[in-house]
Every structure is written in C-alpha cells, then in structure tokens.
Structure 1
Amino acid sequence: MVNQKFDLKPQLFVGVVTMTCRISIGGLLSLSGILIPALQAEEDPNLKISLKDGSWMVTVWPAMAIFGSMLGGWIADTFGRRSLLLMCQLPISSAWGLIASAPSYWVILIAMGMSGFGNGALNSAASVYLCEISHPKVRGMMANLLNIAQSIGMLLSYVLGAYLPWRFLCWTLFGFSLVSAVLITIFTLETPYYLLTKLRVNEARNNLQKLRGPTTNIDEEFNEILERKLRLEANKLANQISTKSIFTSSRFLRPFFGAGVTFILACFSGIMVISLYTVNVFQESGSSLDPYLGSILVMSFRTFTSLVGSIVLTVFKRRHLLLCSSLIISSSLFLMGGSNYIRRHFFHIPIEDKTLNGTWLESNSTHDLSEGFKPALWVSTINNWIPLLAMMTMYAAHSMGFGALLKLSCAEAFPTEIRSKASAIVFVFVDIALAGVGKAFPYMLEAFEFYGTFWIFALTTALTGIYGFVTMVESKGKTLVMIEEQFEEKRMKRKNLVLQNSMENNRAQPETTQVNRVG
C-alpha cells in the first residue's frame, strides 16, 4: 500500500487550505515581538509597558492554551477534526479584532488569552487532521505545511509591524483570518480515520477516494484501516477494554514517554521564547543591526528552510533528523551566548552604546576611550553578524528537523481511538512549560545574563535530541496502522518474554524441591 500510486493534488489542496489557519497563529505568535517594544515606546499611559509587563503577554498565550488543549481533544474525538478546525476560527479572528481596537494593555492581554485558547484547541486538531488525510509517502511533507504556514505568519507580522503601525497589522490579519475560516468551511473534508471510529463506513470511503483522486485504487488502504478498526473493536468486546483504560496501558504510555516527553522537553530549549522575543533578543545580543531588520531576515530564512524541510522529511529518517537538528540548534545557541560573553567581558562598552560598537579592549586595558580606537573588522563582524547567522542556522535546523518532527511524531504515535485526546494531553504539558519559560525569560536574563541563559537553552536542546533519539520509534514511510502495530508488537514481545521467564521459573522450582527432598 505504501508503494501504491496516488494523486497528490487533492490532499495537497486540502492541506494548503488547512494551513491558512496556522498563518493567523504564526502572526499572533510573533505579535509579542512587535508589540512589546512598540508598547514600551508608547506615550499613552494605558498602553505603555515595561519588558516585565510584556512578559505577561507571552505568558497568557500558552496559559490559556492549556484550557484550549483540554477541550480541543474531546471536541476532535467527539465531533470531528474538521469541526474543531472551524470552531477555532472564532476566538482567533476575535482576538485580532480586539487587539486592533484595544484602548488599553488589559484588553490586549484578554485578546491574547482568547487567541491562546484557540491555538491550544487548534494544536489538538491540525496535526492530527493532516496526518489522517495524508498518504504515508507524503505525510511528513503534509504535516510540515503547518510549520511553513506558521513561518509565513511570523514573517508577515514582522514585515508589517516593522514599517507600519501595529494596529494596521492587526486589522490586516483580522481580515485574513476571516478569509481562512471561509476557505476551511468550503474546501475541507472530515478524515476517514475519524469517520470509521463512528462507523460511518461509506462516508469514510468516499472521503478517502476524494483525497487520493478519482482514478486511484483505494481498496488496500481503506481495507487496512477498516480491518484494524474491526480488530480493535473485537478485542475490546472480548477483553472488556474501555477507551479510558487505554490511557493507563502501554499503547498510550509508550508513545507518551517517547514522542510526548520529547516535545515537552523541547519547550525548555528556548526556541519558542526566542520567537516571542525576537526583537528584544537582537537588542540584548549587542548587535548593531537594526532589530526589526534582523527579525525580518531571520523569519524570511525560516520560511525558506520550512519549504526545504518538506523535502528533507521525505528523505531522512525521523530519529536521525531529530538528533542532528537538535545538535545544530544547540551549537547555534551556544555560539550566540559565546558571542555575547566575549562582548561583555572583553568590550568595556554598554550594550546600548552603538557608537563604540566593535572596539576591542582587554579586561585589564588602561587605554583612554577618548583617544578613539578604530574597531577591527573581524571584531565588528562578531558583534553585528554572529547573532544573525546563529539565529538563521538555529531556525534552519528547527524548520527542517526539530520543530517539524515534534508535532508530527505526536500525531503519528498514538492509537486512532485516542489520538486527539492523547495529543491534547501532550499539548497541555507543552503549554504549561511554555507559559513558565515565557514568564521566566526576562528574569533569567537578569539572573544568568544573556550568555548564561542561552547556554542553558543550548544544553537543554542537546539533551532533548538525545532523549528523543533513544525513546522514539522510527515512523518514516509507515502507515498509521503500521505504527500502531509496531507499538503493539513491542508490547507483545515484552509480554511473551515475561511469560517465558515465569514458565522457566516454575519449571525450576519443582526440580529444586525434589533435590531438597533427596538431600
């Protein structure tokens, strides 16, 4: 079935329509990077904030996403993945309109909370939806559409926010979110996997045929999904297994402690926080490059590498790609911290002073700065370009491996009957972690300084990649049914091994008893 010919265009079209909702989320994700420095410079006392005040904007988003994830998983499994996609458009569109017309910072926080709720619910549906409509050969590429869309949304937000008033940015993306809702309503289909869980067999077959193209023979793929569903139902009846009991079984726990925990640990890598504070990160790094221009360059490169990532995901194995990309990201974060460390300890120049940027002075130097030193060319390069190049490298590795794989692996790993709920559980922990790291970031800069904070992120990223490589299963080129059966085979092997050991112990016990009697 994996090697069966199929028409890519129908499922790709549905996937592209679905990704439009993620463009709005990408815009909201990077909005704090635009709004925090803009509101710091505001003259209106109702809108003016400090960096620590701005951290609440970063925190309320994932905090409210926790509740969205909790509700989203239940809605997706009860009413369908497509239904949840449609429901999420209301809080997201409303948030853009509220921010655009906000008279005070409190209204912006409320709107960010609404959008966070919508994002949390959407996370439970979008990845699962794309995985379930995709052919195994292109599932990695299709799931990466969300990563591409998020990068486009972030880039759009930075481009508009750098050169236009922030309210204009919000009204523009408010209009885009309405268009996205209309497109999703008209052109998307419910997934065959969900329809079969509700025993809507004819509708499931019709939708699969539409997704694979009218001339594609879907018998083998459809029968595989249907037979798997019937076997599971028969097993439930024979063993009195409830859906709730699956959450305490290895069918949930193994993928959770593999792909799920890897995703949760990745929140402490700092990449999401850097996305939320991009302009501030450029300002803190010591680079004299305009922070808005730097952000635009980084997001442009991220969008390009997201497109390349669709190809990479179809070529390389998931686990190897995760490990390699995490080590590249870790090296980039370490380099950013090292560049800042050198500047702070060997340049006796405050970060804010751009006039002497690049002047190299040893820590024991007695030179009078008033004499005027010409900055060495290589020193200027370190100050101005290493943060930019390091961030570009970091986002390239994130787009082509680390970031693209995390959501995909969670959506693939869990059994069909609990896939949305299980993914939602993972996202609850992810949102809790993001809320904590987002709020802690300004305080980490104070406690550990810029370089120390980024070195902590570098270490965490490397450990996350190693953990994921060891605990996750390889899923490239396999159908969702094959992945489920792979976990089932491992469980049965362990069960048979325990049973075999138990039988051997029972055989040995009578022999020992007989020897004791003879003695």
Structure 2
Amino acid sequence: MLVATEDSYVSMGEGYNNLAMRASTYKRATSRDFNAYDRDESTARLPNGMVKDIGNPSWWRSFPHILVATVSSFLFGYHLGVVNETLESISLDLGFSGSTMAEGLVVSSCLGGAFVGSIFSGWIADGLGRRRAFQLSALPMIMGSAMSAMTKDLWGMLLGRLFVGTGMGIGPPVAALYVAEVSPTFVRGTFGSSTQIATCLGLLGALFIGLPAKTILGWWRICFWVSIIPAAVLALFIEFCAESPHWLFKRGRATEAEAEFEKLLGGSHVKYAMAELGKSDRGDEADAVRLSELLYGRHFRVVFIGSTLFALQQLSGINAVFYFSSTVFKSAGVPSEFANICVGIANLSGSIFAMLLMDKLGRKVLLLGSFSGMAVSMGLQAIAATSFASRYGSLYLSVGGMLLCVLTFSLGAGPVPGLLLSEIFPNRIRAKAMAICMAVHWLINFFVGLLFLRLLEQIGPLVLYSIFATFCLLAVIFVKGNVLETKGKSLQEIEIALLPPE
C-alpha cells in the first residue's frame, strides 16, 4: 500500500498548476457557465488525462460523523424551545410574572449570547479545527444549563441563558461547515438537511419534556438539567470523529487530510478528493483572511447574499412562532400543549420532506417555494385578526396559518441557508464568512425575540403579520435574483464558478 506524504503532493505541482489555469478561466463565470461546469463525482480524471469510473462513495462511512455533529443542532433546537412551555412557570417561580419585557429578556438573553459566540465561531473553527470548536461550544451550554437550573432569581436565569447562547452561537455555523466538508457531494444536500431535522427533534424534545411544567412545581428546572446530557455526548463523541479534510489541507497538513478522506470516503476515492482540494487555494496561514475582504472586498457579494438570506429568514417571523406559540395559541383558546406538539410535528415533517428533495429539486427551488408559502401563511394570520373573519373562522385561520408557516419554513427557509452558505463560500474564507452571516442571524433573532410580544400588544396582529408577510415576499424576490443552484457540484467546482477576480 502506498502512503502519500506532504512532499509527494508538492511534487504534483504541475498537475495543480494545470488545475489552477483551468480555475482562472472560470473567474468570470456566469450562472450559465456554472450550470455547464458539471462533472459527476462518479468519475475521476487521472494525471494521464484518462477518466476512470470509480462510482459514488458509500454514504455510510461519513454518516456516523454527521450524526455526532448534528447533536449540536439538537441542542440548538432544544434551547430555543425549552422556554416555550416553561416560561409561565419560570416567571411565577422567579417573580417576574406579567412582565412581557422580562419574559422577552429570558428568550433574548440566549440569543444575545449566541450573537457573541457566532462572531468568534469562524476564528475558533479555523484556529482550533472543527472538532475542537464543537467541544468548545458544548462547555458553556453545560455551564449555562446548570446555572439556569439552580437560579433563584431573574438575573441568574439571564446569566445562565447568556452562557448557553454563547455555545449555541458557536455550534450551528461549525455544524454547517463540518457537514458540508465531510459529506460526499451526491448526498451533501441530504446530510445538510439532517441538521434541520436535529433542530426539529430538539424543539420537539423541549416541548414534550416541558409538558408537566404547569402541573409539577419546579419541573422547569429538570428541563434545564436534561440538556446537559446531549451536550456532554457531543463533547465526548466528537473526539472519535474525523477532522475536516478541508481544514487540514488549508493548514498544509495534506497527509492527515488524506487519512481523514480515507475514513470518510474509502481508499478508492482519496486521490480524486485530494485532486479536487488542489483546485482551490491552499490558503496558507501567511495569507490570512482580512475582514476588509469580507465586508467590502472581493468576497463582499457572497457575504452580502449570505447575510441578507439569514436576515430575511429571521424577519419572516418564524422564530416568533417557535418562541411564543404557547402565548398565541392560548389567546386563540387552543390548549398550548396540543398546539405546540402540532407545531413540532409540522416542523419535523417538512424537514424530512426537505431532506428527501434537497438533492433532487435543488436549493433554490425549495427556497422560493418555502418563502412563498410563508407569505401566504402570514397573510392568513393577518386576515384572522380582521373583523371579516368570524370567531371560529379567525381561530382556524390563526392556528392553520401558524402550522402552515412552520411547515413551509421547514421545507426550505429553515434548512437551506446554512447549507447553501457553507457551499458558496470559498474554503479560505468559509468559516469566517459563516461567522459574519450567523452574527447577522442572531442579531435580528435577538430583536424579534425581545420585541415580538410588545409589538403584538402595541400595533396588533394585523399589522405585525402583514410586515412578516412583506418580508417573505421580499425574500422570494431576493432569492430569484441572487441565489445560484449548487446541487450536484463539489465544493471546489462551486468555488471556481463563483471565484471573484483578483
């Protein structure tokens, strides 16, 4: 068996130079060129120019690694939903019942922490590697959950939620990076959707565990203690998973990257995968990513697309549904336990369909259909608030619109942005660009969580849901004009097609 060394990859310089010359011809590629530049992963071009059919790698090899990484997404969903059923009990026990601002802070302090964590996530993922970043994200979630479970006052709860949020800010962008970088091309969309399914399971888990909170005194503390278990599982089991070959290659550790590819894809696919990596920049540490490149330099356009996509995702109003569905359903006369379980099932069902369709219909189609459906659902909820709807008609429109909103969100607007951005960002800037986009996501998420109940009181549901519907329509227009399809393309092919001129 031949083992390649780092020197052996340097000796392949001529081959990589040829690939680099090909890359330069695609620097000004249009979307038509992008669609034309399509080579199936089942073929590999050998150094002598011949093409060898090697088939697709087994997805079973990378699946266990993906499964462990998605625990981070499960925790993300759990901590988003853990205050939904328990918020009333928490407010009574800690003495801030009836204060909508205090309730909003319990939700939003977690999101504020996530904003801080997301800012540093890219530098952590690039500096320490993807696996260490996962472990670092688990630590504040363990500490924050314990603090929230033991607190005796509002300030202790806010501090615990802030710690949890810091871990949440690091985890999701690293999960998106890791899943995209270790998945075989032909199932990258499917595996990318698994993070959304894990988020849904986390939300459902939080709802089910929170059900006894209204009848059992202090049960909400158990809900926070339980979340320590998956965080500890993530920190432990990620140690046995493969490191991202893309990160190793970018750090100049080609031999280790080859070894990780063998774990993830199988020996017959290693040379092809290494050749694909060679098509993009090596990205040595001497050529560090400058913030100016991301904010107003040559990569500004892709960062702008990513940030806007996340901003529109949050301004669609979806997290107002997840955070405050109990409150909204209660005002409509629907038992919150039943309604929230329906929300969780709708979210999970849509995510499963998205996973099945992601590599068939593509990312852009799912995004367009998802935001269009959300605009309709927000419109239904706005109509429910008018005098045109009867009492029962208003009830059905409100609850039905909310469930339709969750279902259509989970079909595209939920799972696609994180996957799409981890695909369109070049390897050299991927982690840091994701950090900036996720910071935008959490910032807007923070204000939605903080202000939703207050706005609902001040301007009413008709105006508020109409604003959300407008943002959904703006998202449809934006996606149609700016998002390129990435299904079936390797990360290096996407990078070449979108590579901006020097």
Tell me the residue number matched to 1:353: none
**1:23 and 2:74 correspond:** yes
Tell me the residue number matched to 2:273: 221
Tell me the residue number matched to 2:399: 388
1:155 to 204, 223, 234: 204
Looking at structure 2, the residues matched to 336 and 418 of structure 1 have their Cα atoms a distance apart, in angstroms, of: 41
Superposition deviation, residue 451 in structure 1 = 2.2
Looking at structure 2, the residues matched to 45 and 13 of structure 1 have their Cα atoms a distance apart, in angstroms, of: 41
2:421 to 407, 410, 420: 410
**1:2 and 2:53 correspond:** no
| Kept in 2: contact 1:259–1:472 (CA 8 A) | no
Percent of residue pairs bearing the same amino acid type: 24
Looking at structure 2, the residues matched to 72 and 250 of structure 1 have their Cα atoms a distance apart, in angstroms, of: 21
Tell me the residue number matched to 1:243: 289
Looking at structure 1, the residues matched to 491 and 482 of structure 2 have their Cα atoms a distance apart, in angstroms, of: 18
Tell me the residue number matched to 2:173: 124
| Kept in 1: contact 2:383–2:397 (CA 8 A) | no
Looking at structure 1, the residues matched to 120 and 230 of structure 2 have their Cα atoms a distance apart, in angstroms, of: 25
Tell me the residue number matched to 1:428: 439
Looking at structure 1, the residues matched to 295 and 477 of structure 2 have their Cα atoms a distance apart, in angstroms, of: 26
| Kept in 2: contact 1:29–1:154 (CA 8 A) | yes
Superposition deviation, residue 83 in structure 1 = 1.0
| Kept in 2: contact 1:31–1:157 (CA 8 A) | yes
| Kept in 1: contact 2:294–2:303 (CA 8 A) | no
| Kept in 1: contact 2:279–2:492 (CA 8 A) | no
AA matched with 2:428 = E
Q: Deviations over 1:433-458 (max 9, x none)?
A: 11122222122112220122111101
Tell me the residue number matched to 1:183: 237
Looking at structure 1, the residues matched to 389 and 258 of structure 2 have their Cα atoms a distance apart, in angstroms, of: 67
1:166 to 216, 220, 231: 220
Following superposition, which runs of at least 4 residues in structure 1 exceed 6 angstroms of deviation?
Answer: none
1:133 to 182, 186, 193: 182
| Kept in 2: contact 1:259–1:468 (CA 8 A) | no
| Kept in 2: contact 1:251–1:415 (CA 8 A) | no
Looking at structure 2, the residues matched to 253 and 173 of structure 1 have their Cα atoms a distance apart, in angstroms, of: 38
| Kept in 2: contact 1:195–1:201 (CA 8 A) | yes
AA matched with 1:150 = T
| Kept in 2: contact 1:32–1:277 (CA 8 A) | no
Superposition deviation, residue 250 in structure 1 = 5.6
Superposition deviation, residue 242 in structure 1 = 5.4
**1:262 and 2:309 correspond:** yes
| Kept in 1: contact 2:126–2:431 (CA 8 A) | yes
Partner SS, residue 189 of structure 1: coil
Q: Deviations over 1:86-143 (max 9, x none)?
A: 1100111222222222211211111111111111111331101110111111111111
| Kept in 1: contact 2:374–2:472 (CA 8 A) | yes
Looking at structure 2, the residues matched to 178 and 189 of structure 1 have their Cα atoms a distance apart, in angstroms, of: 18
Tell me the residue number matched to 1:298: 343
Looking at structure 2, the residues matched to 51 and 34 of structure 1 have their Cα atoms a distance apart, in angstroms, of: 15
**Cα–Cα, structure 1 residues 34 and 339, in superposed 2: closer, same or farther, change >3 Å?**
same
Superposition deviation, residue 391 in structure 1 = 2.3
| Kept in 1: contact 2:244–2:257 (CA 8 A) | yes
Superposed, which structure 2 residues align to 1:199-218 within 5 Å?
A: 199-214=252-267, 216-218=268-270
Looking at structure 2, the residues matched to 282 and 252 of structure 1 have their Cα atoms a distance apart, in angstroms, of: 44
Show structure 2 runs of 5+ residues with no match.
1-39, 43-54, 214-218
**Cα–Cα, structure 1 residues 149 and 271, in superposed 2: closer, same or farther, change >3 Å?**
same
Superposition deviation, residue 47 in structure 1 = 5.5
Tell me the residue number matched to 1:517: none
**1:252 and 2:299 correspond:** yes
> What is the aligned-residue RMSD (CA, Å)?
2.1
| Kept in 2: contact 1:269–1:457 (CA 8 A) | yes
**Cα–Cα, structure 1 residues 210 and 226, in superposed 2: closer, same or farther, change >3 Å?**
same
**Cα–Cα, structure 1 residues 100 and 250, in superposed 2: closer, same or farther, change >3 Å?**
same
Looking at structure 2, the residues matched to 175 and 227 of structure 1 have their Cα atoms a distance apart, in angstroms, of: 41
Tell me the residue number matched to 1:472: 483
**1:454 and 2:469 correspond:** no
Tell me the residue number matched to 1:275: 322
Tell me the residue number matched to 1:506: none
**1:104 and 2:153 correspond:** yes
**1:340 and 2:376 correspond:** no
Q: Deviations over 1:46-65 (max 9, x none)?
A: 46452221011222122222
Looking at structure 1, the residues matched to 488 and 149 of structure 2 have their Cα atoms a distance apart, in angstroms, of: 44
**1:193 and 2:246 correspond:** yes
Tell me the residue number matched to 1:95: 144
Looking at structure 2, the residues matched to 60 and 475 of structure 1 have their Cα atoms a distance apart, in angstroms, of: 35
Looking at structure 2, the residues matched to 313 and 481 of structure 1 have their Cα atoms a distance apart, in angstroms, of: 19
2:193 to 144, 154, 175: 144
Q: Deviations over 1:60-84 (max 9, x none)?
A: 1222222111221111111111110
Show structure 1 runs of 5+ residues with no match.
348-357, 359-379, 496-519
Looking at structure 1, the residues matched to 87 and 279 of structure 2 have their Cα atoms a distance apart, in angstroms, of: 53
Looking at structure 1, the residues matched to 487 and 297 of structure 2 have their Cα atoms a distance apart, in angstroms, of: 21
Quick check: 62-71 or 6-15, which moved more?
Answer: 62-71
Q: Deviations over 1:395-414 (max 9, x none)?
A: 22211211111111121111
Superposed, which structure 2 residues align to 1:504-519 within 5 Å?
A: none
Tell me the residue number matched to 1:355: none
AA matched with 1:243 = V
TM-score computed with the length of structure 1 as normaliser: 0.81
TM-score computed with the length of structure 2 as normaliser: 0.84
**1:289 and 2:311 correspond:** no
Looking at structure 2, the residues matched to 314 and 69 of structure 1 have their Cα atoms a distance apart, in angstroms, of: 28
